[in-house]
Amino acid sequence: MSQEYRRSPEAVSRLSPEQHRVTQEAGTEPAFDNAYWDNEEPGIYVDIVSGEPLFASVDKYDSGTGWPTFTRPIEPENVVEVPDSSLGIVRTEVRSAHGNSHLGHVFDDGPPETGGLRYCMNSAALRFVPRDDLEHEGYGEYRDVFERPQGRPRR
């Protein structure tokens, strides 16, 4: 990564009420009623607070849950997994490493051929950067993600 990503009070203050509820209060947005659950455009998804790269469209799939779902993070070091027993069951919460935003949860019932993980994320925690805008928005190093064979790690 060539850029330093971090959480700032200014970035948090710019969040919409729904983005704040999801990222700062570990909320969950409604299924099938969010920005990216059915987005099929090529690009990457970054943390709405810090801008750190999290997921790529090449690893996105339709899980039938109504939330954007991925098989793996684009930069594993930008994703932190934390035990979550808030609903009386043990799940694994996913947070951004630099923004400390609540993103969603990861489950072990994803496609076996891509590792078996299902990263079920909240659109409100993400900002989508279309492939054609990667250079302009400072994410040009991720263009190669769309040229690699699917299922192959970036690094």
Phi-psi label, residue 145: left if phi above 0, alpha if psi -120 to 50, beta otherwise: alpha
Task: Look up residue 97 and give its DSSP letter.
Answer: T
Q: Indicate which residue of 120, 121, 129, 134 is catalytic.
A: 120
For residue 86, what pLDDT is reported?
82
Q: Is the pLDDT of residue 73 over 70?
A: yes
Reported as a single tens digit per residue, the pLDDT across 21-72 is 999 999 999 999 999 999 999 999 999 999 999 999 999 999 999 999 999 9
Q: Is the pLDDT of residue 101 over 60?
A: yes
Q: Which two structure tokens, joined as six digits, stand for 35? A: 């920005």
For residue 87, what pLDDT is reported?
75
Q: Is the pLDDT of residue 2 over 80?
A: no
Q: Is the pLDDT of residue 124 over 60?
A: yes
CATH number at 9-143? 2.170.150.20
Residue 119 pairs in a beta bridge with: 70, 106
Q: Is the pLDDT of residue 102 over 80?
A: yes
> What percent of the chain has pLDDT above 90?
82
Dist. CA 153–CA 151, nearest whole Å: 6
DSSP the chain: --S-----HHHHHTS-HHHHHHHHH---PPTT-SSSTT--SSEEEEETTT--EEEEGGGEE--SSSS-EESS-SSGGGEEEEEE-TTSS-EEEEEETTT--EEEEEES-S-GGGTS-EEEE-GGGEEEEEGGGTTTTT-GGGGGGGTSPTTS---
Active site residue 148: no
For residue 58, what pLDDT is reported?
95
For residue 93, what pLDDT is reported?
96
Q: Is the pLDDT of residue 1 over 50?
A: no
Burial of 62 (0-12, 13-18, 19+ CB in 10 A): exposed
The model's pTM? 0.92
Burial of 55 (0-12, 13-18, 19+ CB in 10 A): buried
